[in-house]
Amino acid sequence: MNRQVRPQPSADVLPLMGNEAIARGAWEAGVRVAAAYPGTPSTEILESLGRYPAADLYAEWSTNEKVALDVAIGAALSGVRAIACMKHVGLNVAADSLMSQSYIGAHGGLVLVVCDDPGIHSSQNEQDTRLFARFAGVPVLEPSDAQEACDFTRLAFQISEDFDTPVIVRSTTRLSHTRSVVRVGARAERPSKGFVDAPGKTVTIPANARRLHPRVIEREAKLAAWLETSPLTRLETGDRTFGIVTGSTAYLYVKEVVPRASILKLGAAWPLPEEALRAFAASVDRLLVVEELEPALETAIRAMGLAAEGKAFFPRAGELSPELVRAGLAAAGLAEAAPAPRSLGIEPMARPPVLCAGCPHTGAYLALRGIDARVAGDIGCYTLAAVEPLRSIDTTVCMGASIGNAVGMAAAGEKKPIVATIGDSTFLHSGIPPLIDAVYNKANVTVVILDNAITAMTGGQDHPGTGRTLRGESAPKVDYESICRAVGVTWIRRVDPYDIGHMYQTLREAIVHKGVSVVISERPCVLDPVKIKGAPLAVAEERCVACQSCMNLGCPALIWSDALYEGRHRVAIDAAACIGCTLCAQVCPTDCIQPMALA
């Protein structure tokens, strides 16, 4: 139980982000197929894998997380090592495949990397993938730093093959995006095992599934027994007045706060090595569990009949930190409380999130606010239109929910015009089935497809609508209008969101159409794949009447001037930030916003 995971003999030491280290571990393990849908904090894993030679591995951006997992499953059943990567909410999308694949097994080696987002830095909720792993009956490994991210990923493939199981490697935002030194090794080429020709195992009809489920339970017991002496289970003997069970990045916080404590570090959060846990509990006077998010370990340890404490002292929501761990241990009477921070008497300025200067979504949502519609939003940069000053989105649930939500609003008798807004990548991810549903059920809704020709929110990744693959190769390009016509939509208009008048008029026409209408808002993202920069605009100060109409855009290039008009501040334009989109000029009633040379 004192053994540690050691890297393979290495020729290099590299400073790697956690996600890059996961990719490195997969490459070293000889992975041949990799698939993912981008989503913070997981995006960089596949981006990194895509930089390895195409001769080593096939890598693709999939249309959604379930497709990514299905691609990886097909590769693993064909006898090669495969990996699928996603963020925590993406596992919800892929869960259907995972639950069945747990019964089937792995064959070539199958690893899912799932990146949780404690603290909800860039997600719609907090989830704990450890609970999903237990639900599915598959092991979940939890690295605590970039070195372990590389090592554990490599080990996960071996576990997958040895125990014939999918394996989850769980990262978190803090690990995924923190950089540290990693000792890396060489790639281990793995010959294909060939397709597993065993339909009694790979076809989950009820007769087969009833036979396979007991095998999953037996496999779980074997994994738990292996973990008793595995390098993933590490005992660090110290002060015996209390002991801490922990893992993931929480382990690092514990080591920083109480470096001399007795610690049982669990590199696998499921299944649990019960004998190791009982022995550890017996060796200390008091047992605590320090874990991020849900009391997954604490609940399981208590179910073993052990007196464990945890969430009574540590929060169940949000990220942990050394400060929170210290505060929890102090509340438990096991550490000194940190001194109260000294106030500097400075209040930071509130900086609400806004769309980029010149973002094409700005014009679309300004027009939507003008028609006073009930707007069902979706997941993307454009979700920022839910807050001031655009304030034109009423609901946002999850990827692809907007159109279905709109259908439900119409069915419920909502009186306002009902509009669903959805980005191009999100539409391909999970927007087509609800559009079919809307047409099939004759819903009176308008769908606005916000096509900015990229997956913008996660950093500008390609998708089937961009005409490029992960490796930048040319690919067939989806035509959104053709898709909409194919599923039965008859009223379709394309519009440039930089033309606010046309956008407004088009939406007015769309909402009076009986049935499903589709507006395709077409204008590329101003940042990806290249930053767009046109001639900046400027304000002719003497004509500005401080009406603030332009400020309704929420454009960060629009700033307040020191000059006053009837006691109100006039507006100015930050030339460095302005891209010359002219949206502000179109809404200015005094025509005081002009190209810089004329202002």
Locate all alpha helices (DSSP H) within 78-195, ordered by sequence: 88-104, 129-136, 146-163, 173-176
**How far apart are alpha carbons 417 and 369 in whole angstroms?**
11
Residue whose token pair is 């400060």: 323
**How far apart are alpha carbons 578 and 537 in whole angstroms?**
7
- Taking each helix axis from N to C end, the angle separating 401-411 and 432-440, rounded to the nearest 10 degrees, works out to 20
Is 359 annotated in some ligand binding site?
A: no
Q: Which two tokens stand for residue 569?
A: 């501040």
Helix (H, G, I), strand (E, B) or coil at 151: helix
Secondary structure element (H or E) that encloses residue 292, with its range? none
Q: Identify the sign of the CA torsion 498, 499, 500, 503.
A: negative
Helix (H, G, I), strand (E, B) or coil at 299: helix
First to last CA, the chain: 74
Cα pseudo-dihedral 233, 237, 240, 243, rounded to 10: -30
Is 544 annotated in some ligand binding site?
A: yes
Segments of 456-586 assigned E as strands? 491-495, 517-522, 537-539, 558-565, 568-573
Closest to 509 in 3D by CA, of 586, 448, 582: 448
Is 381 annotated in some ligand binding site?
A: no
**How far apart are alpha carbons 430 and 383 in whole angstroms?**
16
* Cβ–Cβ < 8 Å for 565, 545: yes
10: left (phi over 0), alpha (psi -120 to 50) or beta: beta
Paired strand residues for 170: 114
* Cβ–Cβ < 8 Å for 83, 31: yes
Is the bond preceding 389 in cis, omega lying within 30 degrees of 0? yes
Q: Identify the sign of the CA torsion 426, 430, 436, 437.
A: negative
Quickly count: other Cβ atoms within 10 Å of residue 471's Cβ.
14
Is 115 annotated in some ligand binding site?
A: no
Paired strand residues for 13: 183
Specify the DSSP class assigned to residue 536.
Answer: P
**How far apart are alpha carbons 527 and 189 in whole angstroms?**
39
Helix (H, G, I), strand (E, B) or coil at 303: helix
Is 584 annotated in some ligand binding site?
A: yes
Per DSSP, the residues of 327-386 read HHHHHTTSSPPPPPPPP-S-PPPP----PPTT-HHHHHHHHHHHTT-EEE--SSGGGGGG
Per DSSP, the residues of 472-517 read S-B-----HHHHHHHTT--EEEEE-TT-HHHHHHHHHHHHHSSS-E
**How far apart are alpha carbons 47 and 38 in whole angstroms?**
9
Quickly count: other Cβ atoms within 10 Å of residue 321's Cβ.
16
Binding residues for [4Fe-4S] cluster: 544, 547, 550, 555, 578, 581, 584, 588
Binding residues: 544, 547, 550, 555, 578, 581, 584, 588
